[in-house]
Each structure stands twice: as C-alpha cells, then as structure tokens.
Amino acid sequence: MVERVAPNALRPSRTPINALGAARSTHRANPAGFTLVEVLVSTSLAAMVLAAVLSSFVFLGRNLARLANYHTLETKGREALAYLQRDLAIAETVKSGTTPTASSVTLVLPAGEVTYTYDGTAGSLRRQAAAGANPDFQLLKNDRCTCTTFAFDYQTVTGGAPTSQLDASSNVPYGIKQIRVRFVLATPGTEADATRTTYSAVSARFLLRNTQLAAGS
C-alpha cells in the first residue's frame, strides 16, 4: 500500500542562517529602553521645566516679602498719623516762645505740652509728652521701617505760610491755624533689595480747633 505525502513535506526547510551557518531567528527583539538621544532630550526638557517652576517660586516669594514690607510701612504710617491727629484735634495752640520748624513743633494740650521731633539720622519721629503712661517713644521706626523724609507744613486759615509768626524775634506762633504732615517711609537696607519698598503719605491739614484767631490771620 502506497502512502501519500503532502507536497509541502518534501520541500526543504527555509530556516534563515547567518554568515557562520547558524540558524537565525525570524522574530525581531523589541528594544528594552530609550536611546541616548531620547534620554538627553528628556533630561533637557525636565531641566527646563524645573527651572521655570523654581523661578516662579522665587518670584512669588519676593513679591510676598515685598507686600509684607509695604504693609509694615503702611501700618507704621497710619499709627503716626493717628497720634498726630489726636493731639492736633485737642491742641490749644503751638507753644508760645518756640520756633516751629519743618522737623519739630511743640503743641499745647489741655493735659500738657507735646513735642514732636524728627531725627533724620535715626529715621524716626519722637513724641515727648509732659503727661501720660508712655510720655516718650518713637514713631515711624522699627526693624523693618525707617523714615527717610519728614516735614511739618504750617498754614494760616487762608492757606498761606505764616512766615512772620515763625520768626525767632517774635516767638509768638499764634498765626498757625493748620498743620500738615508729609513723610516717606522705606524698608531698611538690611533687607534684600528685591523685597524693599517705600511708602509716601501726605496728611490732610489738621485744624487747631481750640486756638484763637490772631489779628490779620
């Protein structure tokens, strides 16, 4: 009995062989990792993203520090204006026998005298009172605030500067009816430059309500 064989069974095997005669697999191996170029590109992109994020955090931190410093300056400015407004509201007059200047003035209050003196070297405004629980202290000054510019402005009721009343020979500054304050606060130089800021203020004209009008004022 003759057994039939399929035609394909008689064909020789076509297994690929390499140059050395060894059989070569027909399956391609998948790459197991990234190429060097891919690694370099990925690392560069990651470094750029990290640098951008770090710069954003530094910028945000400086802005927050500057904002905190500005808030400190504003708080100290408002504190000084509150003391000045309270004293000027009840002041009877500028003290007779004194010569008010842009940096100093002595007021006569019902409870006694109060003197304000600006010290440009210390960068502060000193308040000295004849009475009170805390008669002598500094304004516009702390470790995060210094006063770089300060001035008292004096006016009569018509708005003119009472030059004659400020003359040392007369020593009778009764013509002063209004006092205005202007100052500039700054973050001290001990703070980082990027976090430093300034605060400027010009008060309204404080009227000496209890003073008597002098003739010709």
Q: Which residues contact 111 (CB under 8 A, 6 or more apart)?
A: 129, 130, 131, 132
- Cα 141 from Cα 75, distance rounded (Å): 11
> Left, alpha or beta for 56 (phi > 0: left; psi -120 to 50: alpha)?
alpha
**Do 24 and 32 meet the contact criterion of CB atoms below 8 Å apart?**
no
Note the pLDDT of residue 196.
92
Highest mean pLDDT among 29-43, 162-176, 189-203: 189-203
Q: Mean pLDDT lowest for which of 72-81, 162-171, 201-210?
A: 162-171
Note the pLDDT of residue 140.
95
Express as a percent the part of the chain with pLDDT over 90. Answer: 38
- The pLDDT tens digits of the residues spanning 31-78 come to 567 788 888 888 888 888 888 888 877 777 778 888 999 999 999 999
Domain boundaries, the chain: 50-207
- Cα 187 from Cα 199, distance rounded (Å): 9
- The pLDDT tens digits of the residues spanning 2-28 come to 556 555 555 655 655 555 555 555 556
- Cα 150 from Cα 201, distance rounded (Å): 10
- Cα 125 from Cα 141, distance rounded (Å): 8
Q: The tokens of 107 are what? A: 């007021």
Statement: residue 158 has pLDDT above 90: no
Q: How many CA atoms lie within 13 A of 109 on its CB side?
A: 20
